[in-house]
Amino acid sequence: MRKNDEVAAIVPEVIGWRQAIHANPELGFAEHETAAFVAAKLKEFGLAVYTDVSATAVVATLTKGRGGKAIALRAELDALPIKEAANVAYASRKEGVMHACGHDGHTAMLLGTAKLLSESGSFDGTVVFVFQPAEEVLGGGKKMIEDGLLNRFPVDQVFAVHNWPGFPEGHIGVRAGPQMAAVDDFEISFRGSGCHAAMPHLGDDPLLAAASFVTAIQRLVSRSVDPLSPAVLSVTQIHGGRFNNFVPGEVKVEGTCRFYDPALSDHCAAEIERVAQATAAMHGVSAELAYKRGYPPVVNPASGAALTAQAGADTVGAECVATGFQPSMGCEDFAFLLQGVGDGAYVWIGAGDVGPGAGLHGDRFVFNDAIIPIGIGFFLNVVRRALPAGGK
């Protein structure tokens, strides 16, 4: 990383904030203590702070210069329902809840950015700091938009970072086009009469139908999707039965679909329904599909990707900025903000290689504090690039 004494001076304080947040994790839409901590810091820095925007969200604004153009910087407040196994002094104090994705680090980095911009930042425009609830599963980003975030705080661009284990430490990754996938979830209920396991001829077998479906649905990706259009379908849960001597009357199959092409959402829904109904008919049972359309893909516009690549080069040097890597099949509800604003970018900050269970959503995940100065420096350079002092 290129030397920045101003950033280096506050890193120990920022690490302290992160560890305090980590020790007190909260699940989506219940981040009351975390939000209060964030709001108090932002007020201390002298920003205008708003806690009435959407659920537990905290939004703050800082305007300098003529205040024309506005950009938003976003971090997440929520933790995950995971029991922590990492051996750290600041481990979670809440049983079964853990910051296993690094949202504590993202929040701390954005707080550090707000502090430095308020004290000495030179830019022309408005920076909107968005600390959103419920990024994990519950779609807090979508709710913020539905509750009027972008109407109340209109911006020209929106940016976010995510620590990325497995990506080289100290490197920044941003690509024009898809960077994260869309996600849809499905649940199929196979229903029949069930029967005693010793007398299968007296009933039918939803469990056998479910097992057949798991095999048959694999054709969705291999035989119904263009091989040049990436897609993943994974069956992740099967529930049914309570006794080993009775065939259950109902079995539920759950899973997820991931893709970059939004048109595949309708295709997956239709194909899963078709295969489920055909499988059920073959086994003499019924099938009912519940298909939930989730987060859209994170697609970086070329302009936002170019600006963040430049800001990344300002931060770590052009040789440490990657733009041609393969996107992830993971998902992110930053997609809603990026769609709503229309410009900006989602950026990875490499956290280096990690061991089993220590990656994102692992119970031994430990945020790499060495990337904190990179994250703060990057955000500062995004503001400098997007809102140059004196205007363009």
Q: 168, exposed or middle or buried, with CB in 10 Å at 0-12, 13-18, 19+?
A: middle
Question: Do 193 and 288 fall into the same domain?
Answer: yes
Identify the domain boundary among 293, 311, 341. Answer: 293
Question: Do 123 and 188 fall into the same domain?
Answer: no
Report the C-alpha gap between 390 and 392 in whole angstroms.
Answer: 7
| 111 in Cβ contact with 14 (< 8 Å) | yes
pTM of the prediction? Answer: 0.94
Question: Do 267 and 331 fall into the same domain?
Answer: no
| 145 in Cβ contact with 36 (< 8 Å) | no
Segment holding 73, helix H or strand E: strand 70-76
Report the C-alpha gap between 214 and 46 in whole angstroms.
Answer: 56
| 84 in Cβ contact with 72 (< 8 Å) | no
Identify the domain boundary among 228, 261, 293. Answer: 293
Contacts (Cβ under 8 Å, ≥6 apart) of 79: 25, 26, 27, 92, 97, 98, 99, 100, 101, 103, 104, 136
Question: Do 217 and 88 fall into the same domain?
Answer: no
Radius of gyration of the chain (CA): 23
Which string of DSSP letters, residue by residue, matches 92-116? -SSTT-B--SSHHHHHHHHHHHHHH
Question: Do 129 and 221 fall into the same domain?
Answer: no
Instruction: Kindly state whether residue 391 falls inside one of the protein's structural domains.
Output: no
Question: Do 305 and 285 fall into the same domain?
Answer: no
SS3 for 226-280, per residue? CCCCCEEEEEEEEECCCCCCEECCEEEEEEEEEECCCCHHHHHHHHHHHHHHHHH
Task: Give Cα separations from 299 to 144, 163, 231, 249 (angstroms).
Answer: 19, 18, 16, 43
How many of the other CB atoms lie within 10 Å of CB of 196?
Answer: 12
DSSP conformation class of 139: -
Instruction: Kindly state whether residue 10 falls inside one of the protein's structural domains.
Output: yes
Report the C-alpha gap between 201 and 199 in whole angstroms.
Answer: 5
| 115 in Cβ contact with 42 (< 8 Å) | no
Report the C-alpha gap between 178 and 174 in whole angstroms.
Answer: 10
Question: Do 21 and 161 fall into the same domain?
Answer: yes
The CATH code of the domain that includes 245 is 3.30.70.360
Looking at residue 392, its pLDDT comes to 59
Range of the domain at 254: 182-293
The CATH code of the domain that includes 65 is 3.40.630.10
Looking at residue 195, its pLDDT comes to 93
Segment holding 70, helix H or strand E: strand 70-76
| Residuewise pLDDT in 10s, the chain (392 residues) | 677 889 999 999 999 999 999 999 999 999 999 999 999 999 999 999 999 999 999 999 999 998 789 999 999 999 999 999 999 999 999 999 999 999 999 999 999 999 999 998 899 999 999 999 999 999 999 999 999 999 999 999 999 999 999 999 999 999 999 999 999 999 999 999 999 999 999 999 999 999 999 999 999 999 999 999 999 999 999 999 999 999 999 999 999 999 999 999 999 999 999 999 999 999 999 999 999 999 999 999 999 999 999 999 999 999 999 999 999 999 999 999 999 999 999 999 999 999 999 999 999 999 999 999 999 999 999 999 999 997 65
Structure tokens at 34: 């975390």
Rounded to 5°, angle at Cα 220 from 239 and 333: 70
Q: Describe the chain by its helix, strand, coil percentages, rounded to 5.
A: 35, 25, 40
Length of the chain: 392
Question: Do 218 and 160 fall into the same domain?
Answer: no
Looking at residue 90, its pLDDT comes to 98
Residue with tokens 């990383």: 1
